[in-house]
Structure 1
Amino acid sequence: MNITIEDIVREAAPELKVVTIEADVTNAATSPELRDELLRLGENIKATYRLDEINKRPGIAATRKAYKALGKEPNRYRPSSEALCRRIVKDMGLYFINNLVDLINVVSIASGYSIGGFDADKIEGDTLSLGAGREGEPFEAIGRGILNIAHMPVYRDAIGGIGTPTSDNERTKIDLDTRRLLMCINIYGEEMLADDTIELALRLLSQYCDARNIIVKSYWASGVF
């Protein structure tokens, strides 16, 4: 899978770096060890941030800045990393879905980056384009119905939108039958070092999902490598 970044996103977020991780995986219900890892991370977040400090984390603040540059109000459509951390700090708890989804949430919470997680076998074509959502563009968000993605960064395959920093699409969502994962780590501004984020993701994928045939790629909005 390859990523192309459209000019509208390059101009709005010139510091954007996208890291993709593809892997063959074996998914399962959330393991007790991963559940504990996520809960420990949540306790650390609660001990570190007040509610009004969450959106000032560098990774989250940079994502919000990109939303505003594209014309989207981030307080109405929060990036997923921000929404997860707010749930933790407000003591609302987290959902436990399955190993793949929950390990992606660990990486997102730890790094401050919103991360797209897709069943690669459900993606149409071998290239995703990262552009801006259009008015009235259809998008069925996972667990929340139709989402207004106008002026929001959006990954599209040959059929249409599959992921935004706020939510991914039902059409390509991860489930227990997922055998090939595509993870898109959206670094609009650096918080956790990219190499450390990759290392964390690979450790979790290996530990909880028997990841193999792994491919890691990086893309820069600036075009500078």
Structure 2
Amino acid sequence: MQPINVYWCSEAASKFPQLAISIGTINGVVVERENAKIKELKGALYAEVRAQHNVEGLKENSVVRAYRDFYWRLGIDPTKIRPSGEALLRRVLHGGELPTISTAVDAYNLASMKTIIPISGFDRDTLHPPFNVRFAENGEPFTGIGMEKPMALTRNMLVLADSRKVLCIYPHRDADQTKITL
């Protein structure tokens, strides 16, 4: 399998010079609805993050602060649309649990919750590299996971795209057509 190259448009690279993404490929994964190991891991990580964090103090966390500052620079209010890592952590800190989607998705959601760093996962068979980090075109269509119909993107939205489509609105919404399924 060929490596996936990522290119940055000059506007995104100059506006966010410290921003970086990491791409990895995991092969041979057996995706199940759920299993005992993931259930056990969820319980352990819920207890861990509840012991380490509280909702009131999250805004002072350096990772949360960095992503919120980044959102403000994008023109997004991070108290209304939260970075995915923070949103997952908040759900658990409020006494909830993460949804059970599949073992693969649950695993990277747990990693995102623990690190408070947004993580996306894509079905490799739906991708058309190379990837580009760029700003959306005004009106560019995007259907996120769980959305009934496409939304029109705006120019201030930073996206990760392949050669055919937007893969995610960075860093909070993944595309429905590239999601990992059973």
What is the TM-score normalised by the length of structure 2?
0.86
RMSD over equivalenced CA pairs, Å: 1.9
Partner residue, 1:101: 105
Deviates more, 1:96-105 or 1:141-150: 141-150
- One-letter amino acid of the counterpart of residue 166, structure 1: H
* Deviation by residue 1:47-87 (Cα, 9 ceiling, x = unmatched): 22221323433333222222221222222221110110110
Partner residue, 1:208: none
Q: Among 67, 91, 100, which residue is 1:63 paired with?
A: 67
Partner residue, 2:172: 166
* Deviation by residue 1:21-57 (Cα, 9 ceiling, x = unmatched): 1121221222111122122212221222221323433
Within 5 Å, give how 1:32-47 maps onto structure 2.
32-47=36-51
Between 1 and 2, higher relative CO (CA 8 Å, sep ≥ 6) is seen in 1
Partner residue, 1:22: 25
Distance in 2, Cα, partners of 1:155 & 1:43: 33
3-state SS of the aligned residue for 2:113? helix
Aligned residues: 175
3-state SS of the aligned residue for 2:91? helix
3-state SS of the aligned residue for 2:159? strand
Stretches of structure 1 lacking an aligned partner (at least 5 in a row): 177-225
Structure with the bigger percentage of strand: 1
Distance 1:57 1:144, change over 3 A: farther
Distance 1:141 1:10, change over 3 A: same
3-state SS of the aligned residue for 1:118? coil
* Deviation by residue 1:130-167 (Cα, 9 ceiling, x = unmatched): 11234332111112444565323211112221113111
Pairing 1:115–2:111 present: no
3-state SS of the aligned residue for 2:104? helix
Whether the aligned pair in 1 keeps the contact of 2:89 and 2:114 (CA below 8 Å) is no
